[in-house]
Each structure stands twice: as structure tokens, then as C-alpha cells.
Copies of this chain bind each other. A is one copy, B any other.
């Protein structure tokens, strides 16, 4: 498997955590999102990923894009350890938690959206931070509220990390980067701290990736 990603991309970070939890080895290909005007915009990369976004996973000639699709594929083809519960209602609860992050936060705070805001609406750093705080804060507060309805466990949905943590940890990293106030989210902070103790998460951290700068 060849994995094309970028150290700071949340969606690449999600996949790295999942690969580590599953014990799946990949060959890493760096796609630097700001060097050379954005390596993801090269013709060679866009032949693999027409949208010019990371990540992309190549598996025996197969080209997979979009982290939610890659993660579901990984779960289906490498079922152990499970990242999703077996019961459909529980799977829906986990997937809703993940979708709050993937669909309601991440697209609003990713690099291309911030670049567009800056280029078209003249937003400076303060404006970008307020924008990110609005969407990350709202989404993570929702994640906290979803967990508040459930019994308290070590991780979000039980005693082992799973798909919820695959999405949550990169988003918490990004929340810290954009100085989001997490004081009203004790459950999420606890889960984040638990995850940081585990090698699968530590090895996936942006700061230890070969392309980190």
C-alpha cells in the first residue's frame, strides 16, 4: 500500500491512526500542501486524485480517495481489531459522532477553505481564528453532548479506541492549533489524553512524520 498524505492534514492523520490500530504497514509518499505552490495540484497527483486533496491510498492498482471511504474500506478488508461496533444502532452512533467532525467541522477549517477566505474576503489571522473557533467549537460541543447521553467509558464508545477516536484526535489537535476553548469539553479532553498514551496515536502525530516542518 502506498499512502499519499501530508503531516498536518487531519484526514491523513485519521488514516495514520487507523493503519496503526490495525497494524497495517504503508509506504508513505509526502504531498506537501504548501511547498511548490501546493504539490497536491500537480498533474501527476491529480491523475490519482482529481480533486487534488490528500489523502490517497494505492492498493494493488486500486486508487482510494476520501478518508471516510478509505476508513470504511480498511474496516471491511482488515476487520481486526474492530473500529466500529457490531450492533447497527451503535455503529450509527459512532458514525454520527464521526460525521459531525468530517462533515460539520473539517471542511470549514481545512487549508483550501481558509486560503479562499483569505484571498477573497481579505481575512487576516484574527478572522481565520474566529472562523475556525466558530465551527470547531460548535462541532466539538456537539460531540461532547452526544457522549453526555451515554455511560462514561475510557474511550468515546467503550474501553478501546475506535473510529470515534480516529476522527476525534486529529480534530482536537487542530482545535489546539486554532486556540479553541475546550474548557466545556471535559470528556473529549479526557479521551484525547487517553489516546495520547497509546503508541498507535503517538506514532501518527503530525510532529513525528517524515514531512513535518
Contact = CB atoms under 8 A, between A and B. Distances in A.
A102 interface: yes
A65 interface: yes
Interface stretch (A37-45, A88-96, A169-177): A88-96
A89 to B, nearest CB: 5
Interface in A77-124: 77, 88-89, 91-93, 95-96, 98-100, 102-104, 106-108, 113, 116, 120-121, 123
Interface residues of A, number: 45
Copies in the complex: 2
Q: Is the interface of A mostly helix, strand, loop or mixed?
A: helix
Nearest to A134: B116
Given A50-B142, A100-B51, A95 B69 contact: yes
A121 B68 CA distance: 31
Contact of A121 (B67, B77, B121, B138): B121
A65 B99 CA distance: 9
A209 interface: no
A66 B95 contact: yes
